[in-house]
Structure 1
Amino acid sequence: MAAPSENMLDFETELNEMSGGAFTQNHLQIIQNLTKAFREQDFRANAEKTVFQNLVKVLTQLSDEIRALDQQSPAAESMRLRLQLTAECFRSQRNAAVQCARNQCLMRDLGFIPVSLTVLEALPGLQVENAAWPIEALRCGIQFLGNLAVGNQVCKDDIWKHCFPRLFFATQRPADHGRRRPRSSMVSTLLDGTSAACVQNREHQELAMRVISLCQRQPELDWAVLIVTQHFLKSSALVETMFVGLEHQERVTLLELITAQLGEEEEGAVEGCRVPPRLARFLASHFQERCKVVLSLASQSAPDEEALTVMRLLDLLCEMTSDHKKLMFLQDHPDLLETTVELLREVHAVGKASRNVFTVVQDFSAGGAGPASHPAVSFKAHLVRLIGNLCHAHTDNQNKVREMDGLALILDNCNIDSNNPFISQWAVFAIRILLEHNRENQEMVRALERRGVADDSSLRDMGFRLEERDGTLLLKPLRRDH
């Protein structure tokens, strides 16, 4: 192989001759040779500035001709050659940027970023005989921008300034699986570090909401999910803004992604908590403000979309208060426990007042399980679960439930209910927590039992019994001979 200096002179001459004239297949071979040369570390490190100057001239000419030819409905061969040359230019630029801060900065200073953006924005709208031609150029261009940003904050900031959200919106249109991964890599690279702060302005908030919308409409797009979970969730302010602006179905998707992050933490996939405390407080407050809309489901055949959001939010609150130590401050979130107990009381009363989705049903046959597919199924069970979580090892909350007459309410939900699978188990769990080391609550349950307000027949059906020992009321497993 010839020495880098010899190759450099050849490329300088050949690239200089290319610009300004008509492109040919021979020119494509020149760029392909340059792409191969940039794979060599020595060549990359010693590439002359004139090589890049001539290369950006070629890319600029291709940009102008592609836009002009598209308006004139050119022959297929003319467009194909230019798109092949464009893709190869991007490959050369991509290779030149690999682990070479000098070349990254040089290409930035020579204007490669705005020229590349102009080309990439034009590619998705091209009407060509073979859709694969512009897609390949698009894929290589995105890879180039990704490589240009890696490890180079100056280039990263400049790409962000020029390209987002314009490039994301422009390249979102074609349904091409091949460019998803490189776009994911580029977006993740740009969002990493200080660039994430740029998402706080209004234009970039729109970008973030479009990513959430993609997650909702196309859940198979793993790159979109990763961008949300690895970057957007780090900013409580961004998520709060998005949550307010999203449609209810998209809010549900966002809540599901947050819940999935908590699940990963339980499996030890990450250290710490990926849900910031500020975000947890915001979600708890939103639940308190909007939770009563669920009551409308008692008189509706089709679920209200906002009610669906509230139900998914309740699921998330249950997960956040399930021994995630950094989120257990929610036990002291103002009025969250009171709101939850009061909502359980209202839902329970609505279920008793008329037959609806909140009514206790003990028919598990196929014919009797009509509402089982209703989204409100298990809502009461999750309210009971949240009450138990908020009272765990928390005397003030245990007392608060007693003061709100919540003990009898929870005991009244110990019955098996096909509309709320496992509600009896969650009720036993909550009662155990409420009685633990709390003599006042134990006395209250004892008094309820003596007055007949609450008996332990439901508990016995489940294999538990109330036992008084040394003046203390205990929840004990029922022996088989009882």
Structure 2
Amino acid sequence: MAAPRPPPARLSGVMVPAPIQDLEALRALTALFKEQRNRNLDTIGVAVDLILLFRELRVEQESLLTAFRCGLQFLGNIASRNEDSQSVVWVHAFPELFLSCLNHPDKKIVAYSSMILFTSLNSERMKELEENLNIAIDVVEAHQRQPESEWPFLIITDHFLKSPELVKAMYAKMSNQERVALLDLMIAKIVGDEPLTKDDIPVFLSHAELIASTFVNQCKIVLKLTSEQHADDEEALATIRLLDVLCEMTANTDLLSYLQVFPGLLERVIDLLRLIHVAGNDTANIFSTSGCVKAEGDVSNVAEGFKSHLIRLIGNLCYKNKDNQDKVNELDGIPLILDSCSIDDSNPFLTQWVVYAIRNLTEDNSQNQDLIAKMEQQGLADASLLKKMGLEVEKRGDRLILKSTSGTPPL
């Protein structure tokens, strides 16, 4: 005859099981449910109830915390590679379990609940997330707290970023810090080792609309950074990250053509470049030119690279696009770009991006070539700068010609 079980322990007036035997049983069940034949038994609802009880107790006792973790692993094993089990888990776990666990202070509990969410999500359940945005935002917060954890990262990149409707709804409700985290992952997806697929392109075109329209509407908010009291303004920092995303999107040929004709984008970028250029020259502020080389690893300037990226974006938008080349000319953007080229430690590779932009602005565009040639003759364009660009001005009769110094045909 088996020895009788000891009475359950009492904790804070709540009856809880004796830890050791229950932990062993839970671990045994977890192992059993790794086998396909043992799944789909009527234990999922009970397991979810126990997990929610553990969360409600909010205790730090190691044995109970371990049981909490094991319960989540148990659900994860049940749901793994089994659509029927995933459906049952979703019915019992959504939304309470995820709301309870994704923001838990224990890293393993966050990771295991993220694993369950990742495994259970499909296109239909993504629609349910749109009605429970706090769960989606909790995943982004989990990624912020634990960037080394793969599950929140995979949920965002493999599920969230495939749903433009969800991303748009999330972005409207997020804090600016959360927006920066989401935008960083969007950049990671665009520049990742695996290029965007044909299925990804329509989705990212929708993302491009969100990013470009948001930038056009609020980009001037970055001017708040010229004031010391707003030097760490989070809305301005989120807007800076929008520019970073646009630079990477316009480096993708499938997204470029859409953004090249996006209403107001090119005009707003040139306008903003002019405003920060003037602000940086008028007074000492975050956009002022810094000619000294900072110590390695010093990235205290939150606007580092902002001017470079504005010029990079202009260059991208003008790539083999005559209308945009002419528009930059009409907006007096070419002298502005040339005047922006100076040693500036806050804007790494600034000269290189100016060279790139001028190349794209003058390619097969005689009007823009003539403008730069006349600027050089009038002393408004630095001949040494043009030389760095591989360009020089040559007089042919009554006409000034801007030509390449590398022996290649004229631009």
User: Does the 8 A contact of 1:435 with 1:474 survive in 2?
Assistant: no
Q: What's the offset of the Cα at 1:229?
A: 1.0
1:115 correspondence with 2:46 = yes
Candidates 334, 351, 373, aligned match of 1:446: 373
1:99 correspondence with 2:26 = no
User: Does the 8 A contact of 1:212 with 1:250 survive in 2?
Assistant: yes
- SS of 2:287's equivalent? coil
How far apart, CA to CA, are the structure 2 residues paired with 1:453 and 1:194? 60
What is aligned with 2:74? Answer: 144
Show CA shifts across 1:79-136 (max 9, x none): 44344434444544x24xx334xx645x2xx4x33222111111234477851x2344
User: Does the 8 A contact of 1:357 with 1:376 survive in 2?
Assistant: yes
Q: What's the offset of the Cα at 1:261?
A: 1.1
Counterpart residue type for residue 439 of structure 1: S
User: Does the 8 A contact of 1:291 with 1:310 survive in 2?
Assistant: yes
* TM-score of the aligned structures, taking structure 2 as reference length: 0.86
- SS of 2:36's equivalent? coil
What is aligned with 2:134? Answer: 206
280 and 380 in structure 1: CA distance in 2 versus 1, 3 angstrom threshold = same
Counterpart residue type for residue 456 of structure 1: A
Show CA shifts across 1:41-80 (max 9, x none): xxxxxxxxxxxxxxxxxxxxxxxx98x95453669x8344
- SS of 1:310's equivalent? helix
User: Does the 8 A contact of 2:225 with 2:233 survive in 1?
Assistant: yes
Show CA shifts across 1:179-224 (max 9, x none): 55543432111113432232121x2x11000111122233222221
RMSD between aligned residues: 3.2
Candidates 282, 287, 301, aligned match of 2:210: 282
User: Does the 8 A contact of 1:384 with 1:427 survive in 2?
Assistant: yes
What is aligned with 1:465? Answer: 391
What is aligned with 1:351? Answer: 280
306 and 413 in structure 1: CA distance in 2 versus 1, 3 angstrom threshold = same
Counterpart residue type for residue 219 of structure 1: P
Counterpart residue type for residue 377 of structure 1: E
What is aligned with 1:426? Answer: 353
What is aligned with 2:13? Answer: 72
Q: What's the offset of the Cα at 1:408?
A: 0.9
Percent identity, aligned pairs only? 37
1:238 correspondence with 2:166 = yes
* TM-score of the aligned structures, taking structure 1 as reference length: 0.74
User: Does the 8 A contact of 1:84 with 1:137 survive in 2?
Assistant: no
How far apart, CA to CA, are the structure 2 residues paired with 1:86 and 1:179? 16
Map 1:278-317 to 2 at 5 A: 278-300=206-228, 302-317=231-246
How far apart, CA to CA, are the structure 1 residues paired with 2:278 and 2:406? 30
475 and 166 in structure 1: CA distance in 2 versus 1, 3 angstrom threshold = farther
Tell me which moved more, 178-187 or 158-167.
178-187
How far apart, CA to CA, are the structure 2 residues paired with 1:358 and 1:398? 26
Show CA shifts across 1:294-352 (max 9, x none): 11212225221111111111111111111342454111111111110111111111112
145 and 365 in structure 1: CA distance in 2 versus 1, 3 angstrom threshold = closer
- SS of 1:373's equivalent? coil
Counterpart residue type for residue 289 of structure 1: N
23 and 183 in structure 1: CA distance in 2 versus 1, 3 angstrom threshold = farther
What is aligned with 1:321? Answer: 250
210 and 179 in structure 1: CA distance in 2 versus 1, 3 angstrom threshold = closer
Map 1:25-104 to 2 at 5 A: 69-70=10-11, 72=13, 78-92=18-32, 94-95=33-34, 98-100=35-37, 104=39
How far apart, CA to CA, are the structure 2 residues paired with 1:383 and 1:403? 18
What is aligned with 1:195? Answer: 125
What is aligned with 1:218? Answer: 146
Map 1:328-477 to 2 at 5 A: 328-364=257-293, 373-460=300-387, 462=388, 464-468=390-394, 472-476=401-405
How far apart, CA to CA, are the structure 2 residues paired with 1:184 and 1:404? 50
Q: What's the offset of the Cα at 1:466?
A: 2.2
How far apart, CA to CA, are the structure 2 residues paired with 1:253 and 1:354? 32
User: Does the 8 A contact of 2:110 with 2:142 survive in 1?
Assistant: no
How far apart, CA to CA, are the structure 2 residues paired with 1:129 and 1:442? 71
How far apart, CA to CA, are the structure 1 residues paired with 2:327 and 2:60? 71
Higher helix share: 1
Larger radius of gyration: 1
User: Does the 8 A contact of 1:360 with 1:418 survive in 2?
Assistant: yes
1:134 correspondence with 2:56 = no
How far apart, CA to CA, are the structure 1 residues paired with 2:53 and 2:299? 51
- SS of 1:276's equivalent? helix
User: Does the 8 A contact of 1:236 with 1:278 survive in 2?
Assistant: yes
Show CA shifts across 1:128-156 (max 9, x none): 7851x234433333233234334544442
Q: Which aligned segments of 4 or more residues in structure 1 are displaced greater than 6 angstroms? A: none
How far apart, CA to CA, are the structure 2 residues paired with 1:327 and 1:137? 51
User: Does the 8 A contact of 2:294 with 2:345 survive in 1?
Assistant: no
198 and 191 in structure 1: CA distance in 2 versus 1, 3 angstrom threshold = same
How far apart, CA to CA, are the structure 2 residues paired with 1:225 and 1:347? 35
1:183 correspondence with 2:183 = no
